Structure 1
């Protein structure tokens, strides 16, 4: 079974100059589960990846976690978190992207993607064509779903 048989093609794609605040707004309004924001050029070639993990680590850094016990309640914590979001809101996505993120190709076997996902401890892999154009993504859940349905 090839990655192209399992992958999804609906993705979050942005240009490197897009502000992080826009990405956060999109995440807040989505009903589907997306774990990665893919940064692409004008031809949809993959430049890098911003994961939810990266976004969370910026919004809720260890300094906030250590302050949590000193905050007087929910509202005070939300004020601190809103301030963190406001601080990064105008930051270009390209400043936060991982440009060395692993990827797969549509014609690869899905087990190769599974091995890479497990080895790297990530939730999803971008799938690019021979020209570097982002054509989809394959996730742990997609692979597990396929295995459970077919074994």
Structure 2
């Protein structure tokens, strides 16, 4: 399957001058895996992930033990965010990234995702214009549609907050233990 058939085209884009606060809001509200920094011609200049934003907020010397020792970690976090507010997308973005072409195969994308230890790859045309992205989930969905009959199975999620009584727990555990049995 070609990347062009499975790529997502609904992406979060920002200009290189986008401010830190806007970046934080876009990551939080829109819940993308990554934000793409593009120029006026939609050429990809860089990528920003939630991890990249967290690195800007928390100084490199901070570890979990130090944070536990702080009497008010929320106050400390607010100070760190205030210090990061002057940063722009251009200062935060990574500029070295692996990209796909629309004519690449889905399994090539999966191999790159595994090699690079990332979850998503941008898809660019020959001029570097951003066309979309492919997530590991997109590739998994392609594999499932190609190889399995998942549409024949009744699948459900479990809301753990609603499992309050012991008999509810037993019911859910029973269902989990018997899932996939074709008796």
Common fold by TM > 0.5: yes
Match of 1:48 in 2: 46
The answer to which of 101-110 and 62-71 deviates more is: 62-71
- Structure 1 segments, 4+ long, off by >3 Å, are 60-64
SS at match of 2:8: coil
* Runs (5+) with no aligned partner, structure 2: 148-183
The gaps in structure 1 that reach 5 residues or longer are none
Displacement of 1:54 in angstroms is: 1.2
Task: Map 1:20-39 onto structure 2 (within 5 A).
Answer: 20-30=20-30, 33-39=31-37
Q: Is the 8 A contact 2:27 2:50 kept in 1?
A: no
* Aligned positions, number: 146
**Partner residue in 2 for 1:122:** 118
Matched, 1:4 2:14: no
- Tell me the equivalent position of 1:131: 127
Structure label with greater radius of gyration: 2
Mapped to 2, the partners of 1:59 and 1:26 lie a distance apart of 16
TM-score, length-scaled by structure 2: 0.75
Identify the structure with bigger relative contact order (alpha carbons < 8 Å, sequence gap 6+). Answer: 1
